[in-house]
Amino acid sequence: MTSIEHGLSHLTSRQVAIIMVIITLLIPYNAQFQGGQRSGDEWVVDVTIMAILWVLFPSHWGPNTGAFGSRGGGLQLLDPVIIINTLPLWIMNMLFAIQVIRFRQGDASKKSAIACAILTLVFPLLSALTGWSYVIEYISFTGNFVYIGPIPVQLIAGLVLVRFSENWHVTTPWKEVKAEEWWNEEHSR
């Protein structure tokens, strides 16, 4: 076991909770990049990056332009309208964070944590796929590039915390019994 694995396996449930809350609320979970040549030799890239508590929209958006109920472009912090309107995009991330914490506390199974991990990508990927016809049309007519989809930082961090948890390993009801002996005895009946 490397020192990193050893350190991760000895994190307390509280430390894991703090890590997951920070990652879930502040690290971006979704992004949209589109850009290309606009006029002459000018290249422009529009970037939208979304985290639960903040969203960065293209800065050139005027006050009448926006998405998810925003008031124009730029950085939008703690905007309740945007937070509520983007709920379908991030609700599974919140549930996954809760499952990682519960798994580290011994209150959830490995399967439920991994199932929630997979579900964190479902809605962002579905929303990206529903816009895929727009993306293909945009690329074919303009020659510009587009990316719409998830940023799986929380997914990777959560899975690492689950994988290197002491709960990952098979345990027995009694400390003096080895897992393999207990397993064989339980399943030989």
pLDDT digits (tens, 9 = 90+) for 130-152: 877 877 887 888 778 888 888 99
Domain coordinates in residue numbering, the chain: 3-187
Q: Give the pLDDT band of residue 181 (cuts 50, 70, 90).
A: low
Quick check: 37 and 144 in contact, CB under 8 A? yes
pLDDT at res. 112? 93
Task: Tell me the residue type at 63.
Answer: P
pLDDT in tens, 60-116: 887 777 788 887 889 999 999 999 999 998 999 999 999 999 999 989 999 999 999
**pLDDT (0 to 100) of residue 31:** 92
Percentage of the chain beyond pLDDT 70 is 86
> Is it the case that residue 22 has pLDDT exceeding 90?
yes
- Grouping H, G, I as helix, E, B as strand and the rest as coil, residue 122 is helix
The Cα–Cα gap between 33 and 163 comes to 32
Helix axes of 87-105 and 13-26: crossing angle, nearest 10 degrees: 170
pTM: 0.79
Query: Are 55 and 49 in contact, with CB atoms under 8 Å apart?
Result: yes
What pLDDT score does 189 carry?
61
Neighbours of 187 (CB within 10 A): 7
Residue (of 54, 32, 66) closest to 149 by Cα position: 32
Give the closest residue to 52 by CA, choosing from 96, 90, 97, 95. 90
Characterise 74 by phi-psi region: left (phi > 0), alpha (psi -120 to 50), beta (else): left
What's the pLDDT at 151? 92
